[in-house]
Copies of this chain bind each other. A is one copy, B any other.
Amino acid sequence: MARETVVDSRQEILRTAARLFQQRGYDATSMNDVATALKLSKGGLYHHFQSKDEILFEIMNHAMEITQERVVDPVRGFAAPEERLRALIRLHIEVVLSPRDREITVMLHENHPLPPALRKRINSRKKDYIHFLENLIAEVQKKVQEEVQEKGRPQTKIKVSPRAAAFALLGMINWIYQWYKPEGELQAQNLIPQFTDLIFGGILA
C-alpha cells in the first residue's frame, strides 16, 4: 500500500508504460505487465486507466503537450519569423533527444490503431502542429523575398512549398530516434546547426 501512494502521478504510469511498450512492443505488453513494473495491483492501475488503449492515448496526448509547452509556446516568444523557425528546429530536436521525454514522444509514431474517437483527437493535435510549422515556413519565405525585393536584387521564385518543407522537417527530426546514438559523432550541438542550415538552404532554394 505504501508503494501505491507513491504512484500518485499518472505521469509516472505513462512513463513506465511507454518504456515497456518500447522494450517489448505495444501488443506484447499487458496491463498486468504495466501494473507489475509499477508494483501496483491490477486494480490500482485500472483505477487510473480503464484500458491499454487509454494509456496509449494519454501517452500520445502527453507527448503533444510536451511539444506545445517546450516547442510551440517558447517559439511564439520570438518576433522575427527566422528566429521562430530557428528556435522551433532547435527545441524540437532537443525534445526528441531528451532522455527524460524520449520514451513518451517516440510513442507518437506507434502504429497500433487507436479507437477512432481517440485517434481523431491525436491527429487533430498533430495537424495543429503541422499547420503552425507550415505557416511559419511561409512567413520566413515571404520575409526573405521582401528583403530581396527591397534590396533591388532579382526576385527568385521559391521552389519548395511550405507544406512539403514542413513534412520534410518533421521527417528529418522525428527520424532521429532511428539512428541516434548517444555515443555517436552527431550530437545535438552539431546536429542542430546542420539541420537548421539544411532547412534554411532548402526552403530558400
Contacts and interface: CB of A to CB of B under 8 A. Distances in A.
A25 to B, nearest CB: 4
Q: Which bracket fits the contact residues of A?
A: 35 or more
Interface stretch (A59-67, A79-87, A145-153, A191-199): A191-199
Contacts of A200: 205
A161 interface: yes
A10 interface: no
A178 interface: yes
A109 interface: yes
Contacts of A161: 190, 194
A204 interface: yes
Contact of A167 (B179, B201, B202): B179
A116 to B, nearest CB: 15
A78 interface: no
Interface string A165-176: 101101111111
A76 interface: no
A109 to B, nearest CB: 7
A118 interface: no
A202 B89 CA distance: 14
A179 B111 CA distance: 12
**A24, A170, A178: which has the most chain B beta carbons within 10 Å?**
A178
A70 interface: no
A198 B25 contact: no
A160 B194 contact: yes
Contact of A175 (B170, B185, B186, B198): B170
**A24, A198, A203, A205: which has the most chain B beta carbons within 10 Å?**
A198
Nearest to A159: B197
Interface string A22-57: 101111100000000000000000000000000000
A112 interface: yes
Contact of A163 (B28, B111, B185): B185
